[in-house]
Amino acid sequence: MPRMTMIEAIRDAHVVAMERDGKVVVYGEDVGYFGGVFRCTQGLQERFGKERCFDSPINEAGIVGTAIGMAAYGLRPCVEIQFADYVYPAYDQIVSEAARIRHRSAGDFTCPITIRMPTGGGIFGGQTHSQSPEALFTHVSGLKVVVPSNPHDAKGLLIAAIEDDNPVVFLEPKRLYNGPFDGHHDRPVTPWAKHPLGEVPAGHYTVPLGRAVVRREGAAVTVLAYGTMVYVAEAAAQASGIDAEVIDLRTLHPLDLDTIVASVKKTGRCVVVHEATLTSGFGAELAALVQEHCFYHLEAPVRRIAGWDTPYPHAQEWTYFPGPARLAAALVEVMEG
């Protein structure tokens, strides 16, 4: 089975989707000729032509707005926002139009668009290239929100997103593009070529939206994570010596609540970790759901580990980043609680 980086897997997902369906179009800033700032769309314009893969102006509201119109006329746009930090000018189009059109039209129209955007930090991008805005989208009814953690899932989830008749926000942790990252920034990077999840099947396959997966089985505490934090959670479990069960959510909305509840009822404890700021982060929703559905099984309060409530700092990147040491300390505290 071929091994790919996440960049290559995302590119391959585009190829598969565009070959299977002539209505799939791909565009965004520098997406066509240049192949995207991270090269996720490299070669698509040459292969499929300028009518199906092209560059847009630097206008995020225009990118999403035109995608909504294309979708209403029967196309399946997959557009790229160059960094998740740049999505805010398009937020009104996403919330007020894309997420609402099915309901406003009583089902006469759907909005099968996929909005890809690199998310998260760990690359010294500072406050304008490191944000994790997933909670802004999970709060909006009508959107699906996906965060892959590896090349295998990235390809399958992206194909599933493109084929879905609903608008999907597809957040790509940029720190994982070339290899898994467990938060130990001072250690050599492990390439995806040496990781089992770097194996990506050829051709068409999908990873169903709304289905989580247990990455590490355990009996002492459940760790809910997604994106880069999956590997941080695995590293923290190993460092602490605690038999933690690590769940990779993969899709934040719809959420696989059944997998979460089954795990927490087994372990009796839960820690939630995400890179986004703590206050009103998606971890708060997860903690509330665990408390609501697992209250009589909990042996300790649900604990959240997240980025601090500040803009993402450039000079203090690793103080902000929720690394394995901070998470391991939380695991110990929860076990003692």
Give 41-91 pLDDT, tens digit per residue: 999 999 999 999 999 999 999 999 999 999 999 999 999 999 999 999 999
For helices 151-163 and 6-20, angle between their N-to-C axes, nearest 10 degrees = 30
> Given this model, what pLDDT does residue 337 score?
73
Instruction: Examine the residue annotation and report whether 129 is marked as an active-site residue of this protein.
Output: yes
Q: Which of 14, 129, 253, 274 is catalytic?
A: 129
The long-range contacts involving 49-57, CB below 8 angstroms and separated by at least 24 positions, are 51/25, 52/18, 52/22, 52/24, 52/25, 52/26, 53/18, 53/25, 53/26, 53/27, 54/27, 55/27, 55/28, 55/29, 55/30, 55/31, 56/27, 56/28, 56/29, 56/31, 57/29
Q: What is the pLDDT of residue 74?
A: 96
**Which residues of the chain, if any, have pLDDT below 70?**
none
Provide the CATH topology of domain 213-336.
Answer: Rossmann fold (3.40.50)
Give the model's pLDDT for residue 189: 86
Q: Which residue has tokens 């690359």? A: 123
Q: Is 236 left (phi over 0), alpha (psi -120 to 50) or beta?
A: alpha
Burial-class residue 337 by CB neighbours within 10 Å (0-12, 13-18, 19+). Answer: exposed
Rounded CA gap, 164 and 162, in Å? Answer: 6
Enter the pTM of the model: 0.97
Q: What is the pLDDT of residues 87-106, one digit of tens each?
A: 999 999 999 999 999 999 99
DSSP state of 202: S
**Region(s) of the chain under CATH 3.40.50.920:** 213-336
Nearest to 14 by CA among 29, 1, 24: 24
Inter-CA distances, 254 with 126, 177, 250, 304, Å:
30, 24, 10, 21
Domain with CATH 3.40.50.970 in the chain: 6-198
> How much is the pLDDT for 286?
98
Rounded Cα distance, 332 and 290, in Å = 19
pLDDT, position 126: 87
**6-198 has CATH 3.40.50.970 classification:** yes
Spatial CB neighbours of 170, under 8 Å, sequence gap ≥ 6? 114, 115, 116, 117, 146, 148, 157, 158, 161
